[in-house]
A and B are shown apart, each in its own frame.
Chain A
Amino acid sequence: MSDSTHSVPPVADALVSVRGLQTALGGKLIFDGVDLDIPRGAITAIMGPSGTGKTTLLRHITGQLRPDAGTIRVDGQELGTLGREALFGLRERIGYLFQNSALLTDFSVFENVAFPLRQHLKLPEELIRNIVLTKLQAVGLRGAAHLMPSELSGGMARRVALARAIVRDPMLLIYDEPFVGLDPIALNQVLKLIRTLNRTLGLTSILVAHELAAVSRVADHIHLIAAGRIVAHGAPRELEAGGSDWTRQFFGGEADGPVPFHYPARDYAEDLGFPGGIR
């Protein structure tokens, strides 16, 4: 395990490679020199306290957001140098599961999953139907193909979004908070699906999640982000065992530690109108 801020060793065969990433949003520094490698074929989890920029990192990796400084390479292509066509070409090989599912509300479940196929491939309707039903079967929602997104629960919508993300068998699957709103049965099935997809199709997965128990069951590596840096990385068991203040606080769920629980504020007693302090 490593828990320094700059000792993440480069991975020889990395699908995603981030170097010297610096980003500030709304005047707030989000990343201050992040180096990160996502090895091919592995499931890599990005964890960290809320608001540390995990989703922002995913947006950088998919070219939705350009960094202030630093380079991001995906499958050997540096995103900063790609034009629109090349970037879209790369995205065709990336599946992305959004935090809020982001289903197209005018389309049924079936049409949502079929959307990427219809947009990019000229396939016979029969084949599209079979592919879509296969993916929906994988997430347990083949029977919900005719429903509209407004008729789905949050967990079901997430599973439909997952079916849509994998419908073109991408090389890289990105999951942004995939476990939120799932009941234990669906959670177990989604965990199995993530593992199965990676092993059988040789995919690479990046997972942003807070559920440590679930992440530990699927992830090969965890990168812990805090204070704009990678503060720890390693296998789930190594990180859970502790070793630094960051890992002890985050995995132990403690309020005291390097990550402040309270948002910066003026003195509590003063705020409540007790200038002499609270006894």
Chain B
Amino acid sequence: MKAKPGRPSALGAALAQIGACGLFFVSILAALPRSLRYLRETSRQVYFVGAMSLVIIMTCGLFVGMVLGLQLYHTLSIFGGTAALGTVVALSLYRELGPVVTALLFAGRAGTSITAEIGLMRATDQLAAMEMMAVDPLAYVVAPRFLAGLIAMPLLACVFNALGIFGAHLVGVSWLGLDNGTFWSNMTANVEVWGDVVNGVWKSAAFGGVVALIATFQGYTTAPTSEGVAYATTRTVVFSSIVTLALDFVLTAFLM
């Protein structure tokens, strides 16, 4: 269908949004040096988006690990390879599931709250008030939340991985009777710190940055109405999920 004159097509609007988000990212980078004087605000945000997300991350990590342990044990037992359970669970978590599932949970738990908070600050003129008090909202509000996402996500992914492995151990060793030594020795023998663990940490940092960027951008540019904030919050979850999964493919291709 042809777009109406003066009104951009859906594709044009999407490209404009991507461009605006890119420019917003550059603005955040430019504001980072100024935001260093707000370290207390940054640490408060790390607590808010990181520590406050621990319960959901730990719970989900435990159950994901338990499901992985159960499924893989039965699949591996067909080939007589249950000894590799620890290795397969650890590699799945470190390389893919840990960073990706944590990012999706992070978008739902922390990303939405960042968007809603900044969006409401926009709607109630708090950001304009800061501007009028000669305080840059990009440095005081946006950059600390972006940094917090960048810092908290790898830590949360590590916690998710640890609980996932604990869950798989609980199912594989404590419940289904796999040998404890086999579980751990195979895992430590086949998992590389740099190739698997650290690459997963890099991935999760990238996902944290992307989710925080999308969340802050959606909040900062929201229409100053209750409906606008609601849409922006929804868009944060949708866009963060899509971009996380797409970026995961790209990063995996590079890191393999």
A92, closest chain B residue (CB)? B134
Interface centre among B121, B125, B133 (most CB of A within 10 A): B133
Name B128's contact: one of A89, A98, A103, A115 (CB within 8 Å): A98
A64 lies within 8 A of B126 (CB): no
A102 lies within 8 A of B129 (CB): yes
Q: Say how far A7's CB is from chain B's closest CB, in angstroms.
A: 32
Bound Cα distance from A211 to B147, whole angstroms: 46
* A residues at B contact (CB < 8 Å): 62, 64, 84, 88-89, 91-92, 94, 96, 98-100, 102-105, 115-116, 119-120, 164
Question: How many residues on chain B are close to A (CB under 8 Å)?
Answer: 14
* B residues at A contact (CB < 8 Å): 120-121, 124-126, 128-136
A118, closest chain B residue (CB)? B135
Bound Cα distance from A62 to B125, whole angstroms: 15
Name B126's contact: one of A91, A92, A102, A116 (CB within 8 Å): A102
Bound Cα distance from A164 to B120, whole angstroms: 20
A100, closest chain B residue (CB)? B125
Interface centre among B121, B125, B136 (most CB of A within 10 A): B125
Interface centre among B126, B130, B132, B135 (most CB of A within 10 A): B132
On whether A91 and B129 interact (CB within 8 A), knowing A100-B124, A105-B124, the answer reads: no
Name B125's contact: one of A91, A92, A102, A119 (CB within 8 Å): A102
Q: Can you show 5 pairs from A to B with CB atoms below 8 A apart?
A: A64-B131, A84-B136, A102-B125, A102-B129, A120-B134
B124 lies within 8 A of A91 (CB): no
CB neighbours (8 Å) of A92 from chain B are 133-134
Bound Cα distance from A145 to B128, whole angstroms: 23
B132 lies within 8 A of A104 (CB): no
A116 lies within 8 A of B125 (CB): no
B126 lies within 8 A of A104 (CB): yes
Bound Cα distance from A92 to B136, whole angstroms: 12
B128 lies within 8 A of A91 (CB): no
B129 lies within 8 A of A98 (CB): yes
A119 lies within 8 A of B129 (CB): no
Bound Cα distance from A272 to B222, whole angstroms: 37
